[in-house]
Chains A and B, each alone.
Chain A
Amino acid sequence: MISEEIKKSLRRAVGAENVLDSDIDRFGYSYDSSSMPILPAYKPDVVVLPTTAEEVSKVMAIAFAHGIPVTPRGAASNRTGGSVPLEGGIVLSLDRMTKILELDEDNMMVTTEPGVRTIDLYNYCAAKGLFFPPDPASWKVSTIGGNIAENAGGMRAVKYGVVSDYVMALEVVLADGTILNTGGKAIKNVTGYDLKHLFTGSEGTLGIITKATLKLIPMPKQRGTLQIMFKSLDAACATIQKMLQENIVPAAAEVMDKTSLDIVSKKRKVILDPVIESCAIIEIDGEDQDALDAQAKRIEAVASALGAVNFQVAQSQSESDELWAMRRGLSQAVAALAPNRIGEDIAVPRGSFPEVVRRIKKLGEKYDLTIVVYGHAGDGNLHPTVLCDYTDAELMERVHKAIDGIFEAALAVGGTLSGEHGIGISKKPYIVQALGQAGVETMKVIKQALDPKGILNPGKIW
């Protein structure tokens, strides 16, 4: 419990209106968008909503002096429990730090506060013809600080990478309140340890990101969408592999399995040819329509050589939206099938994508569960989703065994536990298996050095 005296100092640090401690407010900051049950609730003792780095620094100094746990949070849209305050203490919500500080068009970089929503940052840069590519599915709601802390990805990762590929500089408040600046606008910035990348993806366990400078690239002038249907999942995956080998790099390459297709077509009242077993939705971009046409032609050649049964190029924005709607509608369509679902996020070498999907399907049969598989085949990131019901203990036991199996399958082919959602709480049990004892111990040494009292987002990652 935090004493009234400490709450008073927190109120002095950030203003009384930015400190919440009613029971209902504490409950409101006890959950995130992960599959964790909401009860029993991990209520923080107090919620603090700072608006400047200096305020964050003051809050951390207070927390450090009294050994109070601090769980940083953006929009709490993350899927692995990263912003659940497991040990109470302070929830530090950064979603009121919403200023975009500078758009440096010469250097093609943007500097922003952490509470800016990702889509707002994207649109702000796009208005100047500049492109911030990471596009997590949650980009309408998630904050850029959260994206950096989780090292988020998105559909365009196959061509453009993940958030860490764009982080140039960070301002971070350390556990004791020290404000650290690391990185800069120089492209070749190799002096000392690469701290900016250490904090990127650190899930709030090493410091609080209060400012970020991000690299931008020119906005592609044209975008196009293709939909290709296949008789097998292997053919869809092979097509994407072959495209990449032939240096045709799509901006996004999504694959849906038969179960996913059945769900979406049912929901959208579309009847699919029964021979169709999988579908690839591909986004291409380029300088002009000719470049797009040329790419589409080459992709069609690859796909038909590998047995595609249908190849469709969107002729307009609305047709493109229609094609993407199939993919985007998936999560929602899946959610409607069962009282609850657990969506996982594994990443495997691209070549192993079909093998892992096969293993996951077998797990579904073994444990008599519906497991839907879809994902970013272009970068080997899969989202197997297990349908379940939290109130059915027997079913949940099978669900957890299946999830263990999913992670085993990913690791067995040289993959990893997370492609874009982080580890948080939900994947802790698998971390040693994924990183090895030495890997985890090394990270713990870093954690100990930066957060000697263990107050930053305790209970996460391991």
Chain B
Amino acid sequence: MLTNKSEELLREAEQIVAQCERCGNCLTACPLFKVVNIERVGPRGKNILTRALAQGGVEPDSKALDVVNFCLLCRSCVEACPSKLKTDAAMVNVRQYLMDKAGGPGIKYKTLGSVMKSRNVVKMAAGMLAVLRKTGLNCLVPYGMAPEEYTREQLPGASSGPAAFGKQAAPAEIELTAASKVAYFYGCGMRMMFPEAAAQTVEILKSVTRPMLKDNHCCGLPHLGHGLRGDFLELAKKNIALFEDADVVVSDCASCSGTLKHIAEYFADDAEWKDRAAAFSRKVMDLSEYLVKAGYRPRQRVEARLTYHDSCHLGRGQGVKTQPRELLKAAGNFVEMTDADTCCGGAGSFHMDYPDIAAKILASKRGNIEKTGADVVVASCPVCLVQMTKAAEASGGKFKAMHISQVI
């Protein structure tokens, strides 16, 4: 259904891309353009297409939707653009507009949205994946979405999606005190794919505070990214209400924290929710951001050589780059990799929608990890970690992949 709201989203997108000078600086930064160098794939092509859609020069059909869907929303282009033009925000708007025009997203994203919307279904899915993993049948789950876990217990022996937002979410400016009430935000990806890592997060939080454990809802990013904006807003309201008694909300998933930090922007015109949303967004922190502020020291120091992959949503999306490195330097022998902040190709469901392209992007990431000679590559996002695990397998065991909570 096409509402005034979707037309408005297209207008907003048009205003963003109106600043595109077509200079092409974004082309060299875009990981997708590197793999498929066709104009429509690059950010410039997408910006100009958006302009043409708004001005009536291109049909708003499924082909246009394919173009805007084929984006990692990784913000590399935003960083490379001399005007810092927010192509990612424009793409999210245009996706919503085109999906509304087509009568909603296709069955795939509707199903995905429904799964992620229900706490019970997420838990069920998590349970099923746990069983599959225990029985060794996890290899049957496609796209590496039920990865073999490499746990913290194994670490000492080791010496041998995307942000959908207009601007970077500033690191939180919360003052921490001993009395701060800290809540843990349990992300769907962490719950389903990396429950052991999530358990480690809780253990770490318990060592510095008394974390509130809540049965939270999905952050809504998958919905926002796939034309289900209404669902995103609904989930956001539920989470805002749920965490009203917390002073700090800590997430160990880059995508969740990135999304939650931006919720305020979506309620700016909503008299009822505006202040509550702003208060909520202000208290969100990424795990490493929180830990460094809280003065946490890693539980162990291993001889393993560690390298770090910056998730797009954490590094470019939130500016959290130094904190994870600081923690890793204290936990092991840290070694920086080339292009640590280049997207791994995971990008939410991108790696499932376009597995061949994601594999090509991941191949260069793997090369960079291997060059460091690292034993472990660390990430702070479950989708990145799925990709890192695939890279680790492809490397034939040269390195392992772990979530940051398992290393520190």
Complex contact A23–B59 (CB within 8 A)? yes
Q: Does A323 contact B (CB under 8 A)?
A: no
Question: Which residues of chain A in 114-153 are interfacial with respect to chain B, using CB atoms and an 8 Å cutoff?
Answer: 117, 138, 140-142
Select which of B23, B55, B56, B59 is within 8 A of A141 by beta carbon: B23
Question: What distance in Å separates the Cβ of B52 from its nearest Cβ neighbour in chain A?
Answer: 6
Bound Cα distance A75, B27 (Å) = 9
Given known A117-B28, A140-B25, contact A339–B18 (CB-CB < 8 A): yes
Contacts of A25 in B (CB 8 A): 38-40
Complex contact B83–A141 (CB within 8 A)? no
Q: Does A344 contact B (CB under 8 A)?
A: no
Complex contact B63–A23 (CB within 8 A)? yes
Complex contact B63–A75 (CB within 8 A)? no
Most buried by B among A31, A32, A41, A331: A31
Complex contact A335–B59 (CB within 8 A)? no
Bound Cα distance A25, B52 (Å) = 13
Question: What distance in Å separates the Cβ of B356 from its nearest Cβ neighbour in chain A?
Answer: 13
Question: Which residues of chain B in 61-110 are interfacial with respect to chain A, using CB atoms and an 8 Å cutoff?
Answer: 63-64, 67, 82-83
Bound Cα distance A339, B39 (Å) = 24
Question: What distance in Å separates the Cβ of A190 from its nearest Cβ neighbour in chain B?
Answer: 38
Stretch at the interface among B43-51, B273-281, B391-399: B43-51
Bound Cα distance A175, B83 (Å) = 39
Given known A28-B40, A41-B57, contact A141–B28 (CB-CB < 8 A): yes
Complex contact B38–A28 (CB within 8 A)? yes
Contacts of B40 in A (CB 8 A): 24-25, 27-28
Given known A20-B38, A40-B57, contact A27–B21 (CB-CB < 8 A): no
Question: What distance in Å separates the Cβ of B48 from its nearest Cβ neighbour in chain A?
Answer: 6
Q: Does A96 contact B (CB under 8 A)?
A: yes
Chain B, interface residues (CB within 8 Å), range: 20 to 34
Q: Does B364 contact A (CB under 8 A)?
A: no
B 16-47 binary contact with A (CB < 8 Å = 1; else 0): 00110111110110000000011110000100
Contacts of B124 in A (CB 8 A): none
Bound Cα distance A22, B38 (Å) = 12
Question: What distance in Å separates the Cβ of B364 from its nearest Cβ neighbour in chain A?
Answer: 16
Given known A27-B52, A28-B40, A28-B45, contact A22–B63 (CB-CB < 8 A): yes
Q: Does A171 contact B (CB under 8 A)?
A: no
Q: Does A169 contact B (CB under 8 A)?
A: no
- Chain A residue at smallest Cβ distance from B23: A33
Complex contact A38–B19 (CB within 8 A)? no
Q: Does A76 contact B (CB under 8 A)?
A: yes
Bound Cα distance A24, B39 (Å) = 10
Q: Does A278 contact B (CB under 8 A)?
A: no
Given known A24-B40, A24-B64, A75-B27, contact A332–B83 (CB-CB < 8 A): yes
- Chain B residue at smallest Cβ distance from A25: B40
Select which of B18, B28, B58 is within 8 A of A27 by beta carbon: B58
Bound Cα distance A33, B27 (Å) = 13
Question: What distance in Å separates the Cβ of B94 from its nearest Cβ neighbour in chain A?
Answer: 13
Contacts of B56 in A (CB 8 A): 39
Given known A335-B83, A339-B18, contact A39–B23 (CB-CB < 8 A): no
- Chain B residue at smallest Cβ distance from A40: B57
Complex contact A41–B37 (CB within 8 A)? no
Bound Cα distance A23, B64 (Å) = 10
Contacts of A210 in B (CB 8 A): none
Contacts of B22 in A (CB 8 A): 31-34, 76
Complex contact B48–A31 (CB within 8 A)? yes
Bound Cα distance A175, B64 (Å) = 35
Contacts of B83 in A (CB 8 A): 332, 335-336
Bound Cα distance A33, B48 (Å) = 11
Given known A20-B38, A22-B63, A23-B63, contact A41–B28 (CB-CB < 8 A): no
Given known A24-B63, A75-B24, contact A29–B52 (CB-CB < 8 A): no
Bound Cα distance A34, B22 (Å) = 8
Given known A40-B57, A41-B57, A75-B27, contact A24–B49 (CB-CB < 8 A): yes
Complex contact B48–A138 (CB within 8 A)? no
Q: Does A285 contact B (CB under 8 A)?
A: no
Q: Does A95 contact B (CB under 8 A)?
A: yes
Bound Cα distance A41, B57 (Å) = 8
Contacts of B64 in A (CB 8 A): 24
- Chain A residue at smallest Cβ distance from B15: A339
Bound Cα distance A22, B39 (Å) = 12
Complex contact A28–B39 (CB within 8 A)? yes
Given known A32-B22, A76-B24, contact A38–B59 (CB-CB < 8 A): no
Complex contact A141–B25 (CB within 8 A)? yes
Complex contact B27–A141 (CB within 8 A)? yes
A 334-358 binary contact with B (CB < 8 Å = 1; else 0): 0110010000000000000000000
Q: Does A77 contact B (CB under 8 A)?
A: yes
Bound Cα distance A247, B382 (Å) = 62
Bound Cα distance A31, B20 (Å) = 13
Given known A24-B49, A27-B52, A31-B48, contact A335–B24 (CB-CB < 8 A): no
Bound Cα distance A49, B64 (Å) = 22
Question: What distance in Å separates the Cβ of A373 from its nearest Cβ neighbour in chain B?
Answer: 18
Bound Cα distance A138, B63 (Å) = 31
Complex contact A331–B24 (CB within 8 A)? no
Contacts of B24 in A (CB 8 A): 33, 75-77, 138, 141-142
Bound Cα distance A412, B25 (Å) = 35
Complex contact A38–B48 (CB within 8 A)? yes
Complex contact B82–A331 (CB within 8 A)? yes
Complex contact B57–A27 (CB within 8 A)? yes
Complex contact B51–A335 (CB within 8 A)? no
Contacts of B63 in A (CB 8 A): 22-24
Given known A27-B58, A77-B23, contact A39–B52 (CB-CB < 8 A): yes
Contacts of B25 in A (CB 8 A): 140-141
Select which of B45, B52, B59, B67 is within 8 A of A41 by beta carbon: B52
Select which of B21, B38, B58 is within 8 A of A33 by beta carbon: B21
Question: What distance in Å separates the Cβ of A81 from its nearest Cβ neighbour in chain B?
Answer: 11
Bound Cα distance A179, B290 (Å) = 64
- Chain A residue at smallest Cβ distance from B24: A141
Bound Cα distance A28, B67 (Å) = 11
Contacts of B39 in A (CB 8 A): 25, 28-29, 76
Given known A27-B57, A77-B23, contact A38–B37 (CB-CB < 8 A): no
Complex contact A38–B57 (CB within 8 A)? yes
Question: What distance in Å separates the Cβ of A49 from its nearest Cβ neighbour in chain B?
Answer: 8
Instruction: Give 6 A-B contacts (CB < 8 Å), ordered by A residue.
Output: A31-B22, A31-B48, A39-B57, A75-B24, A140-B25, A332-B83
Other CB < 8 Å A-B pairs besides A27-B49, A335-B82, 7 of them?
A: A31-B22, A38-B55, A76-B39, A95-B37, A117-B28, A141-B28, A336-B83
- Pairs of residues from A and B, 9 with the lowest C-beta to C-beta distance, nearest first: A28-B39, A141-B24, A332-B82, A39-B57, A33-B22, A28-B40, A77-B24, A28-B45, A75-B24
